[in-house]
Amino acid sequence: MSKKKPNSLSIATRAIHGNKLYPYKGPVSLPIYQTSTYRFESSEDAVRYAKGDESVLVYTRYHNPTVNEVEDRLAVIEGAEAATLFASGMAAISTAIFAAVKSGEEIISTPALYGGTYRFFRDELPKLNIAVKYVDPDNLGSLLKLITSKTRVVYFETPTNPTLNIVDIAELVRYTRQAEKKFGHSITIMIDNTFASILNQNPFAFGVDAILESATKYLGGHSDIMSGAVIGTKDFIKKVKHGMKYFGGCADPMAAYLLYRSLKTFELRVQRQNENAMALAKALEKNKRVSRVIYPGLPSHPKHKTARKQMSGFGGMVTIEVKPSKKLLPVEAAAKVCDSLRVAINAMSLGGVDTLVSIPVYSSHIFMSDEELEKHGVTPGMIRISVGVEGIDDLIADFEQALAVI
Ligand SMILES: Cc1ncc(COP(=O)(O)O)c(C=O)c1O
């Protein structure tokens, strides 16, 4: 057992021990280097650092032992060469994009994205002359036409927010690599794996180059920190870290420590969230006031087969649509249900131990036109549920009483 390489151990063991296996000696818990700077032994240290000696610590935006240990641990958990930690998921996403694309080049993305990413692509990148084109996730073969000599990144999420559509990862990689051969330059395939997390979906196994993640969600798991990560090859992470120095989205040591602590229960939490979400989805499918339940683990999900192929668990996200009534508009009915919940919390975000609900047209998708909403499949009566780890009977009873109000 002690001779096993960390990457051959289970995710639970990797998350708890990282690289610190026998005969590692030292503290069982990680010390927090709550410092912005480091005392030099002599002024020569500054010169040694400037000349590339990585053993010299100079400033926490560049490196911090607590943050670096959590980065190493994330790389071990996700089965990658390296990882870098950020102050938020958006810091991770924007810095990774700028590490791979420059002015005059382009990105191809699936359209259903986290709202912040979608707006970053729609409103900010064009100002820098970076074009974003969208591929229909149900027709990934069209990547062969969309990819040009200017394409540097293919970007996607699966399951998507909030409609929980499933993008076939193997197909997306296959078509991208085919186009790459035609143009003879490399394209970085990036996935935002926040919704599934590495426990339920390992995109590296399908040939994706980089995983981006809002660690605010499942990795952090307690709705108490902001954090983000980019995970990939040493070469790519080196570029990302370089960008982070200037864009400045470095992780704070205390948040890194809290993330480290959360990782120890990552498998336990997410397994329970998978189980709770499946049970709640099944119960809501039987509820007369719910017209649609979207959960990749349900046989009724249109992409259930693809989900089974690429996911080992179906995650904690469930989206429902409330049935329209004569008394209330769909969005009013959704709001009434959310406001009537007593265990689940009406709050943004996801992935934590507390069950949260949100109405996409009031939150992540509020600034989208009707046309965009239609393209994204987002309807006014939708409620997105991030299922936590509470007792499942309490959750089911809570949703049943709240739905009975409409
Ligand atoms: C799928 C997804 N990606 C990225 C983000 C952005 O992460 P953060 O809020 O940590 O910046 C979010 C936030 O909700 C998200 O849901």
In this structure, is residue 1 part of a structural domain? no
Q: Are residues 282 and 204 in the same domain?
A: no
Token pair listed for 260: 């480290």
Q: 177: domain range?
A: 6-263
**CA-closest residue to ligand 1 atom 9:** 89
Q: Are residues 275 and 317 in the same domain?
A: yes
Kindly tell me the number of DSSP H helices and DSSP E strands found in the chain: 15, 12
In this structure, is residue 49 part of a structural domain? yes
Q: Are residues 172 and 272 in the same domain?
A: no
Cα 90 to averaged position of ligand 1 atoms, centre (Å): 6
Cα 220 to averaged position of ligand 1 atoms, centre (Å): 12
Nearest-angstrom CA–CA distance, 296 and 195? 12
Q: In the chain, how many domains are there?
A: 2
Q: Are residues 241 and 174 in the same domain?
A: yes
pLDDT of residue 126: 97
Cα–Cα distance list, 363 to 29, 380, 384 (Å): 38, 11, 10
Cα 214 to averaged position of ligand 1 atoms, centre (Å): 5
Q: Are residues 95 and 233 in the same domain?
A: yes
Give the CATH number for residue 273.
3.90.1150.10
- The tally of CA atoms less than 13 A away on the side-chain side of residue 337 is 30
Answer whether 193 contacts ligand 1 (Cβ < 6 A): no
Q: Are residues 197 and 96 in the same domain?
A: yes
Cα 181 to averaged position of ligand 1 atoms, centre (Å): 32
CA of 91, closest atom in ligand 1: 11
CA of 93, closest atom in ligand 1: 4
Give the CATH number for residue 136.
3.40.640.10
Q: Are residues 333 and 246 in the same domain?
A: no
Cα 70 to averaged position of ligand 1 atoms, centre (Å): 19
pLDDT of residue 48: 97
Q: Are residues 74 and 18 in the same domain?
A: yes
pLDDT of residue 2: 44
Buried-state track 211-250, b at ≥16 Cβ within 10 A, e below 16: bbbbbbbbbbbbbebbbbbbbbeeebbebbbebbeeeebb
Q: Are residues 148 and 169 in the same domain?
A: yes
Cα 238 to averaged position of ligand 1 atoms, centre (Å): 23
Answer whether 116 contacts ligand 1 (Cβ < 6 A): yes
- pLDDT tens over the chain, length 406 residues: 445 566 789 999 999 999 999 999 999 999 999 999 999 999 999 999 999 999 999 999 999 999 999 999 999 999 999 999 999 999 999 999 999 999 999 999 999 999 899 999 999 999 999 999 999 999 999 999 999 999 999 999 999 999 999 999 999 999 999 999 998 889 999 999 999 999 999 999 999 999 999 999 999 999 999 999 999 999 999 999 999 999 999 999 999 999 999 999 999 999 999 999 999 999 999 999 999 999 999 999 999 999 999 999 999 999 999 998 888 999 999 999 999 999 999 999 999 999 999 999 998 888 888 888 888 899 999 999 999 999 999 999 999 999 999 9
Cα 40 to averaged position of ligand 1 atoms, centre (Å): 38
What lies within 8 Å, CB to CB, of 224 at 6+ separation is 258, 352
In this structure, is residue 225 part of a structural domain? yes
Q: Are residues 58 and 187 in the same domain?
A: yes
In sequence order, what DSSP letters do the residues of 30-74 get, joined into one string? Answer: ------SB---SSTHHHHHHHTT-TTS--BTTT--HHHHHHHHHH
Nearest-angstrom CA–CA distance, 256 and 262? 10
What lies within 8 Å, CB to CB, of 294 at 6+ separation is 163, 164, 301, 318, 319, 320, 321
The DSSP H or E segment spanning 83 is strand 82-86
- Using DSSP's 3-state secondary structure scheme, residue 346 falls into strand
Q: Using omega within 30 degrees of 0 as the cis cutoff, is the peptide bond preceding 126 cis? A: no
| 290-294 and 317-322 beta bridge pairing | antiparallel
Answer whether 192 contacts ligand 1 (Cβ < 6 A): yes
- Of the residues 227, 244, 263, which one is the last residue of a structural domain? 263
Answer whether 218 contacts ligand 1 (Cβ < 6 A): no
Nearest-angstrom CA–CA distance, 118 and 140? 19
CA of 364, closest atom in ligand 1: 14
Phi, psi of 379 (to 5 degrees): -115, 160
- Of the residues 263, 290, 317, which one is the last residue of a structural domain? 263
In this structure, is residue 48 part of a structural domain? yes
